Amino acid sequence: MEVRVEGGIVALGGSVESGVKRLAARVAAEAVCGLGCVRNEIRVANEADCATPGSLR
């Protein structure tokens, strides 16, 4: 996973094993004081983990 900060904006990138880990990275980045926003570009290796309950795939 990659983390870049520029001008108060955090950009998350790379790849993780699950949607839960992607979400955890975003939540952790959003908890840092003084940041403007978080751009979450992390890819999930298993796309089925990103499906929302009840969604059609």
Going by C-alpha positions, the residue among 56, 12, 9, 55 that lies closest to residue 35 is 9
Task: Give pLDDT, residue 54.
Answer: 53
> Which segments of the chain does DSSP mark as H helices, in order?
19-30
Provide the 8-state DSSP code for 53: T
Gyration radius (Cα) of the chain, Å: 12
Per-residue pLDDT tens listing for the chain (57 residues): 899 998 889 999 999 999 999 999 999 999 987 777 999 999 999 766 555 555 443
- What per-residue confidence (pLDDT) applies to 50? 56
Angstrom distance (rounded) from CA 55 to CA 27:
23
Q: Which helix (H) or strand (E) holds 9?
A: strand 9-13
